[in-house]
Amino acid sequence: VATGGSEPHLVDLQVAALDHIAQHPKCDDVTPRVIRNHTGDYSCELETATGTRPVWITTWIEGQLFAQLPHVDENHCHLLGATLGQITLALNNFSHQNAKRQLKWDLCQASWIERDMEAIEDTQLRHLVTDAYTDFERIETSLAKVRQGVIHNDANDYNLLVTATNKARHMRVIDFGDMCHSVIVGDVAIAAAYAGMHLSDPLQAIDSVVAGFHNCMELSDQELALVMPLIRMRLAVSVTNASIQ
């Protein structure tokens, strides 16, 4: 059940993307599948006490949250990158009229934080965010020169589910609510930003996420050069947004 104020066209975007990913041979069970209702539609509307809300049904995804794993290693991070690479490949030929949207979490639109950084009360933290923004200004024009497409855009550690058997680990991705049309390398940077919090050496985690993605979908030298500045900018956006709230 969508939250109050949810826009139906953004639900349509999520539903269409999940249906598209499900058709890809290498993405079986990597994301939830959307179930059609008795009229053959993927979503409908429900009247609630607070107004009309979009409703849709997906399959259940099994696993433990990446954020709550008792131990995270390089292999987890590599698997994260590879899983995200598979999803990106599946979305490679996907387009949707609602994917180009105004979204504060789209790294291509992240320059909005410049006017709100004063909301960060901690001086040292504000300095770090300012420094990240200065670095972002340096590479901002490069974003228009690298590949773009529809991306998940929020592979944080609470949107990743991990299962393990005697033979292998599996990772699955949920919550497509922030998906948008943006730079493809942005997905890598976002995932790496959160994975980096789980290893004593964050650079090791970042390197493993990038390597896993690169093995599935090769990144250009120009894209690789953007990973670190975009990681810092994702964290800067998160800190600024939290300070405003």
User: What pLDDT does residue 136 have?
Assistant: 97
- pLDDT digits (tens), the chain, 245 positions: 887 666 778 889 999 999 999 999 888 789 999 999 899 888 888 888 888 888 899 999 999 999 999 999 999 999 999 999 999 999 999 999 999 999 999 999 999 999 999 999 999 999 999 999 999 999 999 999 999 999 999 999 999 999 988 778 899 999 999 999 999 999 999 999 999 999 999 999 999 999 999 999 999 999 999 999 999 999 999 999 999 99
Going by C-alpha positions, the residue among 191, 181, 106 that lies closest to residue 150 is 181
pLDDT recorded at residue 8: 77
Report how many helices (DSSP H) and strands (DSSP E) the chain contains, helices first: 6, 8
**The predicted structure's pLDDT at residue 42:** 87
Say how far apart CA 41 and CA 19 lie, in whole Å: 12
- Give residues with Cβ within 8 angstroms of 31, minimum separation 6: 18, 21, 22, 61, 87, 172, 173, 174, 176
